[in-house]
Amino acid sequence: YNEDGSFLFAVDYFLANRPGAVTAIVNATSCDEVDEYTIPHTLEPITEFDSQLVFLESVDGFSNNASRIDNGFLADGNEGYAILIVDYDFEACGVLGYASDNEPSDKMLLKATMGVYPNYMPGLTVSGSVTVAYRNDGTFKFSYDLEGVEPACADGSCGIHIHAGTSCDTHAEVLGHGWNSDVVQDLWTEEGGAVYVADDKGNAKGFFNLYNGFSFGKNLGHAVVVHASNGTRIGCGVLEAFV
C-alpha cells in the first residue's frame, strides 16, 4: 500500500495459449459468490470499471503485469475479497489474504545519492537519496528523502523514476524510463504513482510501491531522475547496492 491509500496490484499468471486476460478485486468474499453480474470491489459506486482493472497480455504464455489501483479500501477492507481473472471462455478465482513473507528486504537494497541533473541551470539544487527495497515477488518499495526540490510539487504531480541509462554524467546517458515492456506497462507515471510530495520549503520524504519488470540486478547501476512540476529533469543519481 502507498501513503495515499492506493496500492500496487501485481499479477503473475500463466495464460498458456490464450492472448490475454483481465483481473480485478471483486465484490464477493468467496469464489462461489462470483457470477456474470459481479462488479469490482470499491468503497464508492462507480460506472467506469477500467480504473479497477489490470490487463494481462501473454508473453510466451505468461503475464506479469501490474497497476496502481485505488478502490477506497486499505488492506483490512480488501482482505477476504475475491480476485477474478477473466479470459474469454476461462475464469480463475482466489481470495485475498495477508502475505506475511513478502515484506521489503533489507538484504536487497539499492540506493542512489541524488544531485543536480547534468547541465540543469535554472536554480534548484537537488540533494538527498533514493532507496529501492525489493520483495520476493520482484515488486519494490521506492523511498525518497530529498531537499532542494520545487515547493510547487506539494500536490504530488512531480515525477521521480528509474531510467534506462546508467550514468548521470550527460543528458544523453540518462535515457528514458526504465521498464521491461515484455512483462509490464510503464508505471513511471503519475497514474502509476511514481511521484513525490514536497513541502513549502522544497523538502520531500515518502515512498510508493512499484514494479518495472526488472530484478534487483537489472536495476542496479541505473539512473534515478527527479522532475519538476513542468516535467524538467532537475535531479539525478545512480543506484548502487546498499548493505
pLDDT confidence of residue 80: 94
pLDDT tens, position by position, 202-214: 999 999 999 999 9
pLDDT tens, position by position, 38-60: 889 999 887 778 888 888 776 66
Mean pLDDT of the chain: 89
Rounded percentage of the chain residues whose pLDDT exceeds 70? 93
Burial class (CB in 10 A: 0-12, 13-18, 19+), 37: exposed
Residues contacting residue 85 through CB under 8 Å, at least 6 positions apart: 11, 13, 21, 22, 23, 56, 91, 92, 93
The residue-averaged pLDDT of 112-123 equals 91
The cell for 70 is 485505488
pLDDT tens, position by position, 169-198: 999 999 999 999 888 889 999 999 999 999
Rounded percentage of the chain residues whose pLDDT exceeds 90? 60
Q: Quickly state the pLDDT bin for 103 (edges 50, 70, 90).
A: confident
Question: Is the pLDDT reported for residue 71 higher than 80?
Answer: yes
pLDDT confidence of residue 64: 73
Question: Is the pLDDT reported for residue 89 higher than 70?
Answer: no
The residue-averaged pLDDT of 145-162 equals 93
As a residue count, the chain comes to 243
Among 50-54, 86-90, 109-113, 227-231, the least confident range: 86-90
pLDDT confidence of residue 183: 83
Please tell me which residue, 73 or 64, carries the higher pLDDT value. 73
- The full DSSP string for 109-172 is EEEEEEEEPTT--SS---EEEEEEEE-TTS-EEEEEEEES--GGGGGS-EEEEEBS-S-SSSHH
Starting at the edge strand found earlier in the chain, the sheet holding 20-25 runs 54-57, 20-25, 82-87, 90-95
C-alpha to C-alpha distance for 118 and 171, rounded to whole angstroms: 6
The cell for 5 is 491509500
Q: Quickly state the pLDDT bin for 17 (edges 50, 70, 90).
A: low
pLDDT confidence of residue 136: 85
C-alpha to C-alpha distance for 221 and 238, rounded to whole angstroms: 6
Question: Is the pLDDT reported for residue 101 higher than 70?
Answer: no
pLDDT confidence of residue 207: 95
pLDDT confidence of residue 90: 66
The cell for 115 is 544531485
Q: Taking the CB of residue 14, how many other CB atoms lie within 10 A of it? A: 10
Q: Quickly state the pLDDT bin for 123 (edges 50, 70, 90).
A: confident
Q: Helix, strand, coil proportions of the chain in percent (round to 5)?
A: 10, 35, 55
pLDDT confidence of residue 66: 86
